């Protein structure tokens, strides 16, 4: 059998960002409103700083306002809550993103709950989770599942009726909302996780397999149904051993791998996202889309179709 189609998330994300830029320009022209996202980073985590910078760069490129709040790691929880209160009240701020993970002395659920749901660009607030779970309009959908669904639709078309979907991983950020989206799309959805009995057999039944467990290359080629669509959400940094056998000479070298053993899976799947260049770029593009959508709702303008599921 021929190798799988490689789903180019980077290219799809570039197209989505261009559509968001058009929407931003249109909202400025029609309502005089520039969408703005406040990005709150607490602490100095190196990976978080990289992600936050790429979010801020994307905002500016698309003509949106970026309000950066980089705070010390020992910031008091009460001060973070007070900052969120100010951002909630600021009419120039349409979306608020608090970069996770937060330092351990801060209660993440308390912080997420403080963001007004209308400005919850990540879609992590219980109100948005509840709107999504009950199939109500106006839910802000978490960026990674939304981006994954857009890639699935681009691959298989919008009619996913009756397809067997398996979501591996049950996080509030990816697994649970992903399952809700697929259910709403009339898939037959299974949620699997580390305690699932005979995980390979469960995976082999899936027409659509979304892997979001954060375990490097856990899903092997023989776990995949021939022809299946495989969405690899994992972004795992591992030592670069075996890439060209120079790892011993370059002990600091790392590479990114997904939750799927790509080289095996590409021989079996019908279509598969790579890591990097798959779901990751879609996450950032969907954050831009959610910010535009929040600004549209605040202004009473129509919401972009891709954000209004
Ligand atoms: N409140 C909050 N919202 C988030 O959305 C959020 C967060 N906290 N904390 C951290 C994670 C991580 N995350 C990524 C986004 C894009 C890439 C991405 O674009 N990755 C590139 C590769 C980047 C590289 O080379 O390191 C790719 O997959 O092609 C990765 C990771 C968003 N996160």
Q: Which numbered atom of ligand 1 lies nearest the CA of 10?
A: 29
Same domain for 172 and 102:
no
- pTM of the predicted protein model: 0.96
Same domain for 152 and 97:
no
Q: Which two tokens stand for residue 96?
A: 């608020």
In a domain, 291, yes or no: no
Same domain for 152 and 100:
no
Ligand 1 within 6 A of CB of 281: yes
Same domain for 157 and 108:
no
**CATH label of the domain that carries residue 151:** 3.40.50.720
Residues 6+ apart with CB under 8 A from 31: 299, 300, 301
Total count of domains within the chain: 2
pLDDT by residue for the chain (309 residues), tens digit each? Answer: 789 999 999 999 999 999 999 999 999 999 999 999 999 999 998 889 999 999 999 999 999 999 999 999 999 999 999 999 999 999 999 999 999 999 999 999 999 999 999 999 999 999 999 999 999 989 999 999 999 999 999 999 999 999 999 999 999 999 999 999 999 999 999 999 999 999 999 999 999 999 999 999 999 999 999 999 999 999 999 998 755 555 455 677 899 999 999 999 999 999 999 999 999 999 999 999 999 999 999 999 999 999 887
Q: From CA 203, how far away is CA 220, in angstroms rounded?
A: 10
Q: Are 105 and 73 in contact (CB under 8 A)?
A: no
Structural domain boundaries enclosing 199: 143-279
Cis peptide before 276 (omega within 30 of 0): yes
Same domain for 163 and 73:
no
In a domain, 190, yes or no: yes
Rama region for 19: left / alpha / beta (φ>0; ψ in -120 to 50; rest): alpha
Same domain for 273 and 197:
yes
- Ligand 1 centroid to residue 280 C-alpha, Å: 6
Same domain for 211 and 162:
yes
> CB-side exposure of 269: number of CA atoms within 13 Å?
31
The whole-number pLDDT of residue 245 equals: 55
Out of 12, 99, 128, 235, mutate this one to test ligand 1's pocket (max ligand atoms within 8 Å of CB): namely 235
194 is in an annotated binding site: no
The whole-number pLDDT of residue 241 equals: 72
In a domain, 168, yes or no: yes
Active site residue 122: yes
**CATH label of the domain that carries residue 99:** 3.40.50.10860
Q: Which two tokens stand for residue 286?
A: 């969907």
Classify the C-alpha dihedral 117-102-177-283 as positive or negative: positive
Which strands, in side-by-side order, build the sheet including 65-71?
Answer: 65-71, 36-42, 95-98
In a domain, 11, yes or no: no
């Amino acid at each position: 059998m021929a190798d799988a189609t490689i789903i180019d998330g980077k290219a799809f994300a570039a197209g989505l960002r261009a559509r968001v830029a058009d929407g931003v320009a249109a909202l400025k022209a029609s309502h005089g409103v520039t969408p703005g996202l406040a990005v709150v980073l607490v602490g100095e985590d190196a990976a978080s700083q990289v992600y936050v910078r790429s979010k801020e760069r994307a905002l500016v490129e698309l003509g949106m306002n970026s309000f950066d709040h980089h705070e010390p790691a020992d910031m008091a929880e009460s001060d973070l809550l007070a900052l969120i209160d100010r951002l909630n009240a600021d009419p120039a701020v349409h979306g608020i993103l608090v970069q996770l993970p937060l330092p351990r002395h801060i209660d993440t659920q308390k912080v997420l709950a403080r963001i007004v749901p209308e400005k919850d660009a990540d879609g992590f607030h219980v109100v948005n989770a509840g709107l999504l779970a009950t199939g109500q309009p106006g839910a802000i959908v978490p960026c990674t599942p939304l981006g994954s669904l857009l890639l699935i639709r681009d691959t298989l078309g919008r009619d996913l009726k009756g397809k067997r979907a398996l979501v591996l991983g049950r996080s509030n950020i990816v697994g649970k909302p992903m399952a809700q989206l697929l259910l709403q799309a009339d898939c037959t959805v299974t949620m699997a996780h580390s305690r699932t009995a005979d995980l390979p057999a469960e995976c082999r039944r899936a027409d659509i397999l979304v892997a979001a467990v954060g375990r490097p290359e856990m899903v092997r080629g023989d776990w995949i149904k021939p022809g299946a669509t495989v969405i690899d959400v994992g972004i795992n940094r591992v030592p670069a051993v075996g890439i060209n056998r120079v790892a011993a000479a370059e002990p600091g070298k790392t590479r990114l791998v997904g939750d799927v053993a790509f080289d095996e899976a590409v021989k079996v799947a019908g279509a598969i996202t790579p890591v990097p260049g798959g779901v990751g770029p879609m996450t950032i593009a969907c954050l831009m889309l959610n910010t535009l959508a929040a600004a549209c709702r605040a202004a009473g303008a129509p919401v972009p179709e891709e954000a209004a599921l």
